[in-house]
Amino acid sequence: MDTHEIETAVREFILQEFLPGEDPAQLTSTLPLITGRILDSLATLKLVAFLEDTYGFEFAAHEVSAANLDTIELIGSFVAVRRQK
Amino acid sequence: MTAKGSTSAAPLGAADLRASTQITSREELWTIVVITVQLALALLIVHAFQLESRTFFHVMVLAAVGFPFHALLPARLRLPMFALLSLASIVVAFGARDGFFLIMLGLVLIGLCHLPVPMAVRVPLLLVTAALFAVWRMELLPAPWSVAIWPILASMFMFRLALYLHALKHDGQRPTPARTLAYFFMLPNTCFPLFPVVDYTTFTNTYFDRGATQIYETGMRWIARGLFHLILYRFVYLHLAGDPTALHTLGDLVQFLLATFLLYLRVSGQFHLITGTLHLFGFRLPETHHLYYLSSSFTDFWRRINIYWKDFMMKLVYYPSYFWWRRWGGTTAIVAATITVFLLTWLLHSYQWFWLRGGFPLAPQDGLFWAILAVLVVQGSLRELKQPRRRTLGRGPAWSASLAVRTVATFTVICVLWSLWSTESVAAWLMIWLAAGNVAPGDLWLLGVLVLGGLLVAGRAWSVHPTPDASPHPFYRRPTLQSTALLVGLLVVGTTDLYAWSSPRLAAVVASLQRSTLSARDAALKHRGYYENLDNASRMSANLWSVQAARPRHWVGLSSTAAWRRRDDFLGGDLQPGARIVFNDQPLTVNRWGMRDRDRALEKPKHTYRIAVLGPSHVMGSAVADGDTFSDALERRLNREADQKSTIRYEVLNFGVAGFSLVQQLAMLEERALQFRPDAVFITDSSGLNGPILPHLINVVASRTTIPYPELEAIIGQTGVRALAGDGVPAPFHSVRSLLNAAGVRTRMPFHEANHRLRLSIDDVRRWTLRRLAEVTRQHGAVPVFVALDNVLESPAVHRGVLEEAAAAGFIVFNLLDVWQGREKDSLRIGAWDDHPNAAGYRVVAEHLVTLMQQSRAELRLTEGLRDVPGSP
């Protein structure tokens, strides 16, 4: 599963779970999710749970950060790297 | 919550980034020039309004001068230059010696972080070092540096060390020396002990991650906003935030609740200034607050107010706690993690105050505040888990009733909770609600206007930003124009000469904001601090704290010295006859009669006009030497000016005792002063003469001391405060005490309730005392004179009808409340921490009294003696 597929899955999850009814085109790969206050702590934990369940790895506490999860692009890169470990 | 959207261009690639941070175009150079001019405007505003401290002004000058040079430097030199500028600011603020030690102690801590040993060894070493620093902070060990370095050193390291260690452990990049120095010693921290908890990773990742001029413009906008907040704060502090013990009506209570929360503007103002200044040096840090007054829920409030603290807790506490607890389920983990965050916030808040002000406050109202907020946030989180809140990427409805109601309700609850956090005790907080039952005309209108205005403002989704498109902002929305307009506007408002002729009241209000003065409440607290230890350092406002911190440690109240004699009667205490001490750096001698005076004969010498002066500390002569009190100065002045043909000599007898209230002056007059058969009795008090009466009468009632005046006893009896004099458990409100008494529990009235009840009758007490003083004086053949005199205050106090009352009671009134106006006050007072007049100040008082005595010669029965003195003040 490449990064693009991961990003697509994540985008679908975010739209369905947090942004129902919103224009998908506005949820770009580089839109800040955490620093842009779209995802708060509860939403971030839901996203973490989704990623763990979908891709079969466990987050460490320090990995739940804007550096890894702020944009769909960053999420895709992070998941791809973690899955290789 | 709605998406902020991207208000700026997308992040740049590395090569583009390096290129964009260099100033290459004329337009970018012009932006640098404009921002430098804006910084100059900001400095003018800081100067015009005397905002914050002198150190702050010097640091801002350093930033303003350093900015253009920094902006024009090659990119690789900027971070080192910022680090050097930061170190330089420490030396500017503390001087070479203390600055050196502050930096060295900081380098020790940084060095420990980088020891080539496992983290499990480094952390305990740091803790041991911190413990040693704490011992120095408490001044239990001698040190070659001033204790003043600790608040700043601590604010630089007490939280950032943890984030730095976290980054060392988890981030891939090794920090450079310049970045580490810049992070810990960052420039604005030198003048702000209360500092946002800047995350190291964010500090690194946001460094010039956008175009340079874009970052600078945002910084300048935040600096302008910060200055505006600080000026607004000063208005709230001086004119809106009242004394919680003096609330009478529902309107007073609503104003108090609002103003107490609005005092937070100082923190948000400072934080805007700090992050704005950091932007000027390339650190595109996120905002520290986001429209926190418009929070629509308690979880929303937690996310908007002090965002850096919230992120700090998330990183180091919430997420680690969540992951540890989630073996018991996700919901349990969220609840446990949230509770842990709030518990630690409470404890770390006290930890912070230890370093900033000393002590380790764990007051019940603090714990209650955080506990209640924790419960509300947990509830909100559980609700959001079941029913996620609505988010939108675009613009929502123009106005939403649901949002309006939720926001106003949240704001109201937060104001109530904030008032709990800010009062002296839970008992004191309960007392403020007594005012709610007294609805004055207009109170309901006020409430209605506030609620309606609040709903109108709160129903708009202010956080929504339209997604960026290709079209540029209209000119009026350009950041540079907005910040320039705000800065120029503040300068114009601060130049009161421009409009004083047409709006004198507005000009007077603005002028009051242009001095760093204490509010009436803090001035009264400061005055109380002359007589007792104000040990509630953490509850003091920043303004009062800065005054108290300047006070020498040996500066104590009179009751802590050997010159004080405690008594178990209505007087409560007086001066110890024969005492000879050094009191606040000056010799203080008490004669055999218990007067701070040279020895006097009881029998009045022939041809002597005798004046008995009674009053509190500024009569006794706090912190001036024997012979330098205003009684001494007045006696010398009168005898020097006496008609050379006259045989009349003057004696001015000093019966002043520090801390004496008007009622104690009455007791002193009758017990002692009248024995000396004065010709005139000068009753001296300040415009705030109610202040000392209350605690004195409460002590009298609490100690079951007999009140030797039946009329006064009757007034006090009517207030019901006799319930204070019990051995039982303090229980607020008569109904609660009755219930508990019926259940067999002995109770008494709490001090705060007694204070509140007595305060309602204080005007009656004052008027009775004035009448009694005048009557007794006249009965003994003397002329009663009321001398209204304050300490050397920045602005004259409000009279509140005291002068008229004194005249109505039968006094000749000598009004010296304006005696300090138009003079260089610093040269006439003891110091910044003590407003008592010094010797020069007392000579000014004596001069004025001589003039007033000349004008009232007939009433004073001065048939001969004083000659006219031309050119009297």
DSSP B246: G
Q: Which of A18, A22, A46, A62 to mutate to test the interface with B (most CBs of B within 10 A)?
A: A62
> Between 3.80.30.20, 3.20.20.210, 3.40.50.300, 1.10.1200.10, what CATH number should domain A3-84 receive?
1.10.1200.10
Q: Do B205 and A67 touch (CB under 8 A)?
A: yes
Residue located via tokens 């007034």: B715
Inform me whether the C-beta atom of residue A65 falls under 8 Å from chain B C-beta atoms. yes
Query: DSSP letters of B764-808?
Result: HHHHHHHHHHHHHHHHTT-EEEEEE---S-SSPPP-TTHHHHHHH
> B393 contacts in A (CB within 8 Å)?
19, 22-23, 26-27, 31, 38
Inform me whether the C-beta atom of residue A43 falls under 8 Å from chain B C-beta atoms. yes
In chain A, the largest separation of any two C-alpha atoms, in whole Å, equals 36
Q: Do A37 and B201 touch (CB under 8 A)?
A: no
Q: Do A36 and B5 touch (CB under 8 A)?
A: yes
The count of other CB atoms within 10 Å of the CB of residue B199 is 26
Tokens representing B570 are: 């209505």
- What residue in A sits closest to B324 (Cα-Cα)? A61
Chain B, residues 297-356, CB within 8 A of chain A, namely 299, 303, 314-315, 318-320, 322-323, 330, 334
> B170 contacts in A (CB within 8 Å)?
62
- What residue in B sits closest to A21 (Cα-Cα)? B392
Using CA atoms, how far residue B755 sits from B40, B388, B447, B720, in Å, is 49, 48, 27, 11
pLDDT on residue B10: 42
CA atoms of B463 and B780, how far apart (whole Å): 74
Q: Could you tell me which residues come within 8 angstroms of residue B239 by beta carbon, excluding any fewer than 6 positions away?
A: B509, B512
Inform me whether the C-beta atom of residue A8 falls under 8 Å from chain B C-beta atoms. no
Provide the Cα torsion B25, B27, B28, B29; round to 10°: 90
Domain coordinates in residue numbering, chain A: 3-84
CA B821 to chain centre: 24
Q: Helices A72-84 and A41-55, interaxial angle, to 10°?
A: 40
> B286 contacts in A (CB within 8 Å)?
35
* B346: enclosing H helix or E strand: helix B330-357
Angle at B279 between CA B275 and CA B285, to 5 degrees: 60
SS3 B171: coil
Q: Do B323 and A35 touch (CB under 8 A)?
A: no
Q: Do A60 and B323 touch (CB under 8 A)?
A: yes
Q: Could you tell me which residues come within 8 angstroms of residue B679 by beta carbon, excluding any fewer than 6 positions away?
A: B609, B610, B611, B782, B783, B860, B861
- What residue in B sits closest to A35 (Cα-Cα)? B286
Q: Do B381 and A42 touch (CB under 8 A)?
A: yes
SS3 A37: coil
Q: Which long-range contacts link B434-439 to residues 24+ away (Cβ below 8 Å)?
A: B434/B247, B434/B756, B435/B247, B435/B248, B435/B249, B435/B250, B435/B252, B435/B253, B436/B250, B436/B253, B437/B250, B438/B248, B438/B249, B438/B250, B439/B249, B439/B250
Low pLDDT (below 70) residues in chain B: 1-23, 395-396, 464-477, 528-539, 642-645, 795-800, 864-873
CA atoms of B522 and B313, how far apart (whole Å): 33
- What residue in A sits closest to B320 (Cα-Cα)? A61
A23, A41, A62 ranked by CB distance to B393: nearest:
A23
Inform me whether the C-beta atom of residue B385 falls under 8 Å from chain A C-beta atoms. yes
The count of other CB atoms within 10 Å of the CB of residue B254 is 19
Start-to-end Cα distance in chain A: 14
pLDDT on residue B423: 84
Inform me whether the C-beta atom of residue B392 falls under 8 Å from chain A C-beta atoms. yes
CA atoms of B414 and B825, how far apart (whole Å): 41
> B290 contacts in A (CB within 8 Å)?
37
Query: At B376, which amino acid appears?
Result: L
Inform me whether the C-beta atom of residue A38 falls under 8 Å from chain B C-beta atoms. yes
Helices and strands in chain B, H and E counts: 34, 13
Q: Which of B391, B392, B467 to mutate to test the interface with A (most CBs of A within 10 A)?
A: B391
Asked whether B614 and B680 are in contact (CB, 8 A), the reply is no
pLDDT digits (tens, 9 = 90+) for B358-402: 877 788 888 999 999 999 999 999 998 888 777 777 766 788 899
Instruction: Look at residues B815, B824, B825 and name the one whose alpha carbon lies nearest to residue B851.
Output: B815
- What residue in A sits closest to B5 (Cα-Cα)? A36
Measured in angstroms, the CA of B173 and the nearest CA of chain A are apart by 13
Asked whether B222 and B272 are in contact (CB, 8 A), the reply is yes
Instruction: Look at residues B242, B240, B250, B243 and name the one whose alpha carbon lies nearest to residue B435.
Output: B250
Tokens representing B738 are: 């009755």
Q: Helices A3-17 and A72-84, interaxial angle, to 10°?
A: 130
Q: Could you tell me which residues come within 8 angstroms of residue B735 by beta carbon, excluding any fewer than 6 positions away?
A: none
Inform me whether the C-beta atom of residue B13 falls under 8 Å from chain A C-beta atoms. no
DSSP A56: T
B2, B286, B393 ranked by CB distance to A35: nearest:
B286
CA atoms of B102 and B99, how far apart (whole Å): 5
Q: How confident is the model at residue A3 (pLDDT cuts 50, 70, 90)?
A: confident
pLDDT digits (tens, 9 = 90+) for A8-54: 999 999 999 999 888 888 899 999 999 888 999 999 999 999 999 99
pLDDT on residue B6: 33
Measured in angstroms, the CA of A79 and the nearest CA of chain B are apart by 17
Domain coordinates in residue numbering, chain B: 51-205, 520-545, 572-706+745-855
Start-to-end Cα distance in chain B: 65
Asked whether the CA dihedral B863, B865, B871, B873 is positive or negative, the reply is negative
Asked whether A83 and A18 are in contact (CB, 8 A), the reply is no
Q: Do B6 and A60 touch (CB under 8 A)?
A: no
Residue located via tokens 């705030």: B688
* B684: enclosing H helix or E strand: strand B680-685
Residue A23 half-sphere exposure toward CB, CA atoms < 13 A: 8
Asked whether B643 and B866 are in contact (CB, 8 A), the reply is yes
Asked whether B195 and B274 are in contact (CB, 8 A), the reply is yes
Using CA atoms, how far residue B107 sits from B104, B153, B185, B668, in Å, is 5, 11, 10, 60
What number does CATH give the domain B572-706+745-855? 3.40.50.1110
Asked whether the CA dihedral A57, A63, A64, A68 is positive or negative, the reply is negative
CA atoms of B217 and B770, how far apart (whole Å): 62
CA atoms of B783 and B787, how far apart (whole Å): 13
B4, B166, B393 ranked by CB distance to A62: nearest:
B166
Radius of gyration of chain B (CA): 31
CA atoms of B681 and B786, how far apart (whole Å): 8
Q: Which long-range contacts link B353-358 to residues 24+ away (Cβ below 8 Å)?
A: B353/B537, B353/B538, B354/B134, B354/B137, B355/B137, B355/B150, B355/B151, B355/B154, B355/B155, B355/B158, B356/B151, B356/B154, B356/B155, B356/B193, B356/B194, B357/B151, B357/B537, B357/B538, B357/B540, B357/B545, B357/B549, B358/B137, B358/B138, B358/B537
Query: DSSP letters of B393-426?
Result: SS---S--HHHHHHHHHHHHHHHHHHHHHHSS-H
Tokens representing B678 are: 């004065």
Q: Which of B204, B307, B315, B319 to mutate to test the interface with A (most CBs of A within 10 A)?
A: B319
Chain B, residues 261-290, CB within 8 A of chain A, namely 286, 290
Q: Do A45 and B330 touch (CB under 8 A)?
A: yes
CA atoms of A16 and A12, how far apart (whole Å): 6
The string over B81-119, giving b where at least 16 C-beta atoms fall within 10 Å of a residue's C-beta and e elsewhere, is: bbbebbbbbbbbbbeeebbebbbebbeebbebbeeeeee
Using CA atoms, how far residue B638 sits from B129, B157, B607, in Å, is 64, 61, 14
